[in-house]
Homo-oligomer: A and B are copies of this chain.
């Protein structure tokens, strides 16, 4: 735990089959006008919309709706949402959905009273929320697991015109005030989305794990989360309504990206930069973009962080190191990871996600370079990794 840091996570979580009862406890703390944000309308088919509306009505709220948030929420949609929040004089934003709906809701919450263009200010110039800018409080009812957006200040927005998908991690004042985590609310999600979410969790942990040479408690916590995720994902793929597996995964997802396992250490995030570039160009599902580039990336950087890849192989994948070279142990770890990825049904190449000769260079160009991993990538490195992922 080298370096100085502070830790504070103000989000209150309500977890379990009765988690929606938490909404009744929380809503009275906020004003009358609630902007209900959701996506394509699946919550109307699976009954979650009605359940949430019943609580809102019981709490005497006036509800305004902002529906149609897309999987990779766009800057155009953000503009629309800001206008809607202003028009209804929203006191509170209730996000009902997955990470995209949460991310978008946070973006709206900090943009309603922002005096500048929020895309330029928050995502291009990476600036913080001005101290005098009133943030509309956000609460979250989670229906898809993966992004961790329910307990952090992250918000990713896509600009198709500029072919950019950019995430900004904001401070505690932007975190959801509360999140409702009912594993049963994730049951009806299509399998493709479910396993994409599983890999998003995996990638969040690995981005924080594969960085630094120091001995750190955070890495031990990461290994625990990884083992729990690997174990439960295999069960959930076979039986998506296994409550124990789905609930473990939901809890793991939250702790994979709520700042804890990054404390006291450096982090990487290059897989997310590669994946987000793919997403910006193809609009493919986020978790699948990460899966499609991961094996090529990790094989590429393995020699630069060999010691950590050996530890990963032994502690996470149970590789027996006796009598083997470090390279062999590390390779066996990555092979075990790849086999697991194929077993749970992830997309393993970029061709399947729509990357081709025509847009390949756009992806290369859209890839931002991070500096916390075991190797700072050059443009040629990026091109080589993406080529190996086709």
Contact = CB atoms under 8 A, between A and B. Distances in A.
Interface in A1-32: 1-19, 21-22
Interface string A179-191: 0000100000000
A17 B1 contact: no
Contacts of A217: 224-225, 228, 232, 248, 251-252, 255
A10 B13 contact: no
A220 interface: yes
A250 interface: yes
Contacts of A215: 231-232, 244-245, 248
B216 A220 contact: no
Given A220-B224, A220-B228, A221-B225, A247 B12 contact: no
Contacts of A13: 6-8
Interface string A197-228: 00000000000000000111100111111011
Nearest to A16: B4
Nearest to A21: B4
Contact of A264 (B12, B21, B251): B251
A286 interface: no
Interface of A: 1-19, 21-22, 183, 214-217, 220-225, 227-228, 231-232, 243-245, 247-248, 250-252, 255, 263-264
